[in-house]
């Protein structure tokens, strides 16, 4: 009886620490993004040759996508560099052809907003765009189009602005910040990585 109870406890522990945990703790993603504030202080879009998998540039610098990449690695153990690369190898034509590439490039593909949008849609994480703060939950990922047709991405915070609008964790040019910009620019995508979507990301690793 004791042995069976211990086995049950182990099963429950594994269930709680497995991939489903990522989808059930969105605040962990927001916290991992917030941990970058004050650490990533420079916006640096330079192309860099990265280790693979798990490659990263120095943490004091990066772009908007690096906030999401680092948050998913630190908070949920998900490597978007590896996930994007494997999914692009499986169906390269499904991804945007804006950059004239003929094959995946693990140094940069995951650091491009349109590629992350494509991956999130392909794993079933896309949420219909809606007005108002209620549909935007902590840990959600949102994309915008900035002036000059510049794509941008950030993570919805678990903290609210003065009017009750969720704050956003992002890097728009001055390092990682937590700011009230959710409705400041036209939205182009809204994604929520729940348990099922997290499992699909894990399967790409």
Angstrom distance (rounded) from CA 93 to CA 96: 8
Q: What tens-digit pLDDT sequence spans the chain (205 residues)?
A: 433 333 333 333 333 333 334 444 778 999 999 999 999 999 999 999 999 999 999 999 999 999 999 999 999 999 999 999 999 999 999 999 999 999 999 999 999 999 999 999 999 999 999 777 779 999 999 999 999 999 999 999 999 999 999 999 999 999 999 999 999 999 999 999 999 999 999 999 8
CB proximity list for 66: less than 8 A, separation 6 or greater: 40, 56, 57, 111, 171
CB proximity list for 121: less than 8 A, separation 6 or greater: 189, 191
pLDDT of residue 26: 75
pLDDT of residue 25: 79
CATH topology of domain 2-203: endopeptidase fold (from Nostoc punctiforme) (3.90.1720)
Domain boundaries, the chain: 2-203
For residue 105, which of 43, 55, 174 has the smallest C-alpha distance? 55
Angstrom distance (rounded) from CA 116 to CA 96: 10
């Amino acid at each position: 009886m004791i042995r069976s109870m211990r086995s049950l406890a182990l099963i429950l522990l594994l269930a709680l620490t497995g991939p489903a945990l990522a989808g059930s703790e969105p605040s962990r993603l927001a916290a991992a993004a917030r941990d970058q504030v004050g650490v990533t202080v420079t916006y640096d879009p330079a192309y860099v040759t990265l280790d693979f998998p798990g490659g990263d540039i120095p943490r004091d610098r990066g772009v908007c996508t690096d906030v999401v990449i680092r948050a998913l690695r630190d908070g949920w153990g998900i490597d978007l560099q590896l996930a994007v690369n494997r999914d692009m190898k499986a169906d390269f034509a499904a991804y945007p052809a804006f950059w004239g590439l003929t094959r995946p490039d693990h140094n940069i593909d995951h650091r491009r907003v349109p590629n992350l949008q494509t991956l999130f849609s392909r794993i079933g994480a896309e949420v219909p765009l809606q007005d108002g703060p209620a549909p935007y939950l902590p840990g959600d990922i949102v994309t915008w189009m900035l002036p000059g047709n510049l794509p941008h991405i950030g993570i919805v915070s678990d903290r609210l602005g003065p009017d009750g609008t969720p704050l956003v964790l992002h890097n728009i040019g001055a390092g990682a910040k937590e700011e009230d910009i959710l409705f400041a620019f036209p939205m182009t995508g809204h994604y929520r990585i729940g348990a099922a979507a997290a499992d699909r990301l894990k399967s790409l690793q």
